Amino acid sequence: MRIVVLVKPVPDTTGQERLGPDLRVDRANVPAVVNANDEYAIEAALKLVEAAGEGDVTLLTMAPVAAPETLRKALAMGAQRAFLVSDPILAGSDTVTTVHVLAAALQRIEHDLVLAGADTSDGGAGVVAAGVAYRAGLPYLSYAARIEPHADRVTVHRLSPVGYDVIESALPAVVVATQALGEPRYPSLKGIMSARSKEIVTWSLADLGLAEGALAGELGGAQATTRVVSAVAPPPRAATRVVRETAQVAGSQVVEFLVERRLI
């Protein structure tokens, strides 16, 4: 079972994030972490490989050149190697470019299954995994609460508003992981130490054959189909009412509060 996990370094949400003059997050001055939803995908991939007793987990990301440091943290969880697509042209890219680039990179990595997080904590679009599946011509199975691979197909329990749907497709396929798959593991010290010597291959657009051909000149920040028009700080939080009573009293006070505001 060869699994590729799509991951993204995102700004650590510590409240220290600042916007740059282009109104985008100033990534250079904020420590990066692996997107939290991607960690569920990594955990699920590691569990699948451990259960199968064979195979490996490969990370794939499109990110700035500083990404390896963040990727090492993900490798420390147990993935075997990572591929990083990085190119100055890609700075400021939108999801369309990301989809093209990741789909092209995926073609160069052997895989039986592709996992991705539901969305990212910075962009939050949640469309890249579906786009990659479409571009790569792979089945797309979203919101997996359970993943059961078989010889040539995969069964997924897809979360729905009322429970879950059991869906199935041929392999390879793209599956979107959710928190229901289980808490990501902490990297062990041996994992952290071995991650130092794991392979991180960096590809440019030229390496992927995207500097020429149909997509040449169509990719990157300059070609983004979306742009940031304005940025507004969230309004300060309104006065908070804290109920400090015994459970019984507190319960009825909370209900009264909600009834007063016609919220229930």
Q: Which is nearer to other proteins, 69 or 165 (CB)?
A: 69
Site for other proteins in 194-253 (CB under 8 A): none
Site for other proteins in 85-104 (CB under 8 A): none
Residue 85's φ and ψ, nearest 5 degrees, are: -95, 120
Q: Which is nearer to other proteins, 190 or 261 (CB)?
A: 190
Nearest distance in Å: CB 228, other proteins: 32
Nearest distance in Å: CB 33, other proteins: 10
Nearest distance in Å: CB 192, other proteins: 9
- Note whether 16 binds other proteins by CB under 8 A: no
Residue 58's φ and ψ, nearest 5 degrees, are: -120, 135
Nearest distance in Å: CB 188, other proteins: 5
Q: Which is nearer to other proteins, 71 or 105 (CB)?
A: 71
Burial (CB count within 10 angstroms: exposed 0-12, middle 13-18, buried 19+), residue 244: exposed
69: left (phi over 0), alpha (psi -120 to 50) or beta: alpha
Interior/surface letters 138-167, b for 16+ CB within 10 angstroms, e for the rest: bbbbbbbbebebeeeebebbbbeeeeeeee
Interior/surface letters 192-201, b for 16+ CB within 10 angstroms, e for the rest: eeebeebebe
Nearest distance in Å: CB 130, other proteins: 32
Nearest distance in Å: CB 203, other proteins: 31
Q: Which is nearer to other proteins, 196 or 261 (CB)?
A: 196
CA distance 129 to 118: 8
Q: Which amino acid is at 81?
A: R
**C-alpha 183 chain-centroid distance:** 15
What are the residues whose beta carbons fall under 8 Å from the beta carbon of 86, sequence distance 6 or more? 62, 63, 64, 65, 67, 202, 203, 204
CA distance 146 to 37: 15
* Three-class DSSP category at 168: strand
CA distance 51 to 1: 10
Q: Which is nearer to other proteins, 13 or 252 (CB)?
A: 13
Site for other proteins in 186-205 (CB under 8 A): 186, 188-191, 193
Number of residues that bind other proteins (CB under 8 A): 6
Nearest distance in Å: CB 190, other proteins: 5
Q: Which is nearer to other proteins, 126 or 191 (CB)?
A: 191
Q: Which is nearer to other proteins, 186 or 257 (CB)?
A: 186
Site for other proteins in 169-188 (CB under 8 A): 186, 188
Residues forming contacts to other proteins in the complex (CB under 8 A) are 186, 188-191, 193
